[in-house]
């Protein structure tokens, strides 16, 4: 009887601990890791929100490298999923639910058959050297066992988050994602264009610094002359010296009817002409890559070019914060 009595006392103490200890534990557990990555916020965001190379740095896959991983990126990022299934790590899925481009990613994560999800957050802050990254896991533990489990697991999860973020840093710094893609190359007719243009010259970097003020001048002149816009803004590159990187170009706006010259601003009509075109989606930093793609295509197909080149700015940063939405059509006039 004494043994049964003591056994009952021990059981009551254990039951009390199971019920009492969790009452003093936080209902929400937050695991957080931070790192400074020598890559811009846009590139870090793009990689994390699409789960690019996630299977190469995921800390839990180190426990079971042969586990099955499925990555399904979505255009616009929201809805992108990362799922895993293994004998040791079990199965589950993450899904991107909300984004602020270049700044924040919020995803839900499910483990096994548990219908309740937790939250995974990425917070990105631009620095002089690149990006300060904060990676959070936020979970609500059910009383009492959920809270006890999170308390027991938090130490191991903290180590995993820190090692995972360190691995991501190494991978993305070695091979940053390029924020651009190209569409299908086509040959077609570019319609006749009435334009107001302003000349510019210099290296590509020098001209890009001039464009903001020049576009303000052009838009101001369009308004002053009471003209109607009839298409997108554009640049027309007259020549380019590959050795020096120096070019002469015209920055312009398409208008419905011919305008009048005013100071450095000129009225110019481009005739209808046949062109070979390549859509470039993404940052302007990678336009050079798209130029090389289009040049290679024209050379392989024996096309004869006039030597000029148009950049038609169909969608810009004025319409979207996401560079992958920016559409620039590169067009080479054909002889």
Return averaged pLDDT per consecutive 10 residues of the chain, 335 residues in all: 50 44 53 94 96 93 92 95 94 96 95 85 97 89 48 63 94 95 96 96 90 94 96 94 91 96 95 97 94 97 96 93 95 96
Cβ atoms of residues 151 and 77 within 8 Å: no
**CA–CA dist 248, 210 (Å, integer):** 13
**CA–CA dist 214, 226 (Å, integer):** 18
Query: What does the pLDDT read at residue 154?
Result: 56
Query: What does the pLDDT read at residue 111?
Result: 87
Query: What does the pLDDT read at residue 140?
Result: 66
- Domain borders along the chain are 23-176, 181-333
Query: What does the pLDDT read at residue 52?
Result: 94
Domain 23-176 class in CATH: alpha beta
Instruction: Tell me the whole-structure pTM to 2 decimals.
Output: 0.81
Angle at 310 between CA 306 and CA 312, to 5 degrees: 160
Long-range contacts: 46-52, Cβ < 8 Å, 24+?
46/177, 46/179, 46/324, 47/168, 47/172, 47/177, 48/105, 48/122, 48/168, 49/77, 49/80, 49/96, 49/99, 49/105, 49/122, 50/74, 50/77, 50/80, 51/80, 51/81, 51/82, 51/94, 52/177
Who's near 156: CB < 8 A, 6+ residues apart? none
**CA–CA dist 311, 287 (Å, integer):** 10
Cβ atoms of residues 98 and 91 within 8 Å: no
Long-range contacts: 14-17, Cβ < 8 Å, 24+?
none
Q: Is the domain defined by 181-333 classed in CATH 3.20.80.10?
A: yes
């Amino acid at each position: 009887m004494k043994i049964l009595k003591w056994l009952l006392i021990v059981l009551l103490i254990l039951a009390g601990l199971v019920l009492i200890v969790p009452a003093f534990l936080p209902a929400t557990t937050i695991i957080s890791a931070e790192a400074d990555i020598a890559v811009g916020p846009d590139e870090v965001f793009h990689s994390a929100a699409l789960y690019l190379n996630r299977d190469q740095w995921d800390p839990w896959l180190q426990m079971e490298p042969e586990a099955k991983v499925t990555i399904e990126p979505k255009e616009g990022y929201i809805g992108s999923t990362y799922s895993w299934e293994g004998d040791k790590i079990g199965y589950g899925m993450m899904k991107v639910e909300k984004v602020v481009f270049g700044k924040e990613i919020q995803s839900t994560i499910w483990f096994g058959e548990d219908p309740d999800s937790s939250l995974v957050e990425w917070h990105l802050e631009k620095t002089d050297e690149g990006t300060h990254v904060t990676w959070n896991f936020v979970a609500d533990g059910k009383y009492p066992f959920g809270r006890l489990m999170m308390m027991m697991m938090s130490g191991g999860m903290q180590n995993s988050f820190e090692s995972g973020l360190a691995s991501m840093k190494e991978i993305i710094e070695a091979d940053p994602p390029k924020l651009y893609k190209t569409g299908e190359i086509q040959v077609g007719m570019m319609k006749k264009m009435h334009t107001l243009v302003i000349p510019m010259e210099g290296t590509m970097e020098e001209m890009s610094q001039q464009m903001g003020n020049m576009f303000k001048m052009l838009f101001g002149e369009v308004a002053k002359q009471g003209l109607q816009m009839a298409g997108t803004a554009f640049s027309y590159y007259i020549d380019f010296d590959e050795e020096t990187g120096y070019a002469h170009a015209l920055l312009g706006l398409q208008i419905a009817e011919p305008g009048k010259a005013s100071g450095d601003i000129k009225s110019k009509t481009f005739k209808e002409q046949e062109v070979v075109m390549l859509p470039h989606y993404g940052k302007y930093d990678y336009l050079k890559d798209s130029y090389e793609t289009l040049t290679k295509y024209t050379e392989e197909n024996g096309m004869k070019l006039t030597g000029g080149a148009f950049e038609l700015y169909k969608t810009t940063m004025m319409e979207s914060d996401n560079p992958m939405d920016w559409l620039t059509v590169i067009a080479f006039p054909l002889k």
